[in-house]
Structure 1
Amino acid sequence: MQPLRHGYTNDTRGDGAVVVKRYQGGIDEVLRRGTELGVLERRPAGMPVPRVLGAPEGALRLEQLSGMHGQDLIDEGLARPVLRSCGELLRRLQKVDVSQVFPGAAAGTGWVVVHGDFGPNNMLFDPDTFRVTGLLDWEWAHPGDPIEDLAWCEWIVRRHHPRAVEDLGELFSGYGVRPSWARRQQSAAARCESFVERFRNGPAPARRKWQENLTLTLSWAE
């Protein structure tokens, strides 16, 4: 099996049919694996997610889905159709019954299924139609506020694809609404703060990286 591109935290390898994902990162590996396994076993309705083929200790064996990685398509100058598809898929995801994916989620809270790292960084696309063929890496999933995934998708673009910031309108067009910049920035900053806290007693380079990300996020203007 060969290492897959765009794997940053975990050791992810594939052979064209099967992906083996071994959880790394120094913190919360067991929790993250359990979260992803639970979500994929319950398969959010209508979502293009891989089938679980096995669950060896510390890892998952998953179906390898076809498609081009979203970040590669953006780097090829195709941010507009990619971001529109991101918005459309997120709108569909937020219509999934949250209690189907998280049986303990309370009804009537207004919560939705939050992917937790939603964006072109974790999506595969048909390169001709830009239909999403894979929404990957559910290890941060949880019930939560609808703004979370939308704001984080925007954060991924602003942080890693600055030349595509001018195309972010397509994300909101696909999603169907553009919440205020204050809400979006606040949500993204809160996510960065959660990583600063996560690494409070962990590796210093990781803590510094997320502190820098937080400072940068707070400096942005729409």
Structure 2
Amino acid sequence: MRPLRHGYTNDTQGDGVVVVKRYQGGIDEVLRRGTELGVLERLPPGLPVPKVLGAPEGALKLQQLPGMHGQDLIDEGLGRPVLRSCGELLRRLQQVDVSRVFPDTAAGTGWVVVHGDFGPNNMLFDQDTFKVTGLVDWEWAHPGDRIEDLAWCEWIVRRHHPRAVEDLDDLFSGYGVRPSWARRQQAAAARCESFVERFRSGPAAARRRWQENLSITLSWTE
């Protein structure tokens, strides 16, 4: 096995068939592993997510899915078809019965399945059709507001691919709705704030990084 590119928090290695993901990061490894395992086992068929092949202690063995990483495609100037497919997949994901994936979710909340780190950073695409072949890294998944994943996908582009900001129109076209900038910015800022709080008693460098991310997010205008 060899380390997979675009792995930032965990030790993720694959051999072309199987991926072994060992949870790292210093905080919440057991919770994050349990969340990803439970979600992947309860998501309905038809979504492009990896099958769970095993659950050794501290890790998961997952099916390695085909496709090219979304961030690489955006860096090649292919942001428009990639982001359109992101929006289309998010619309499909939000049609999933949230109580199937999170059985403790109370009826009538209006919540949807939230991936928690949705964007081209965690997606694989067919290089010819740009259809999503893999949506991975479900460790932050939870029931929540439908704006969360949409706003975070936009945040990933604005923060890490600023030259592709003009391609965000295709994200909203694929999704079918363009919520107000105020709602989107507020949701992205709230996510940054959650990471600041998460690292309040953790690594100081991580906390400073997320404080910087929060300041940058609040400085943006549409």
Within 1, Cα distance between the matches of 2:10 and 2:101?
23
Secondary structure, in 3 states, of the residue corresponding to 1:61? strand
Q: Structure 1 unaligned segments of length 5 or more: list them.
A: none
For the aligned residue pairs, the C-alpha RMSD in angstroms reads: 0.6
Q: How much has 1:45 moved relative to structure 2?
A: 4.2
Within 2, Cα distance between the matches of 1:168 and 1:46?
26
Q: Structure 2 unaligned segments of length 5 or more: list them.
A: none
Within 2, Cα distance between the matches of 1:44 and 1:142?
16
Structure 2 residue aligned with 1:79: 79
Q: How much has 1:114 moved relative to structure 2?
A: 0.2
Matched, 1:162 2:162: yes
Deviations 1:10-68 (A, max 9, x none): 00000000000000000000000000000011123431110000000000000000000
Structure 1 residue aligned with 2:190: 190
Secondary structure, in 3 states, of the residue corresponding to 2:6? coil
Structure 2 residue aligned with 1:4: 4
Matched, 1:108 2:112: no
Q: How much has 1:117 moved relative to structure 2?
A: 0.2
Matched, 1:29 2:22: no
> CA contact under 8 A between 1:50 and 1:64: conserved in structure 2?
yes
Deviations 1:179-221 (A, max 9, x none): 0000000000000000000000100000000000000000000
The two structures have a TM-score, normalised by structure 2, of: 0.99
Structure 1 residue aligned with 2:204: 204
- Structure 1 residue ranges (4+ consecutive) displaced by more than 4 angstroms after TM superposition: none
> CA contact under 8 A between 1:45 and 1:96: conserved in structure 2?
no
The two structures have a TM-score, normalised by structure 1, of: 0.99
Letter in 2 for 1:96: V
Aligned residues: 222
Secondary structure, in 3 states, of the residue corresponding to 2:133? strand
Structure 2 residue aligned with 1:119: 119
Letter in 2 for 1:92: R
Q: How much has 1:108 moved relative to structure 2?
A: 1.0
Structure 1 residue aligned with 2:129: 129
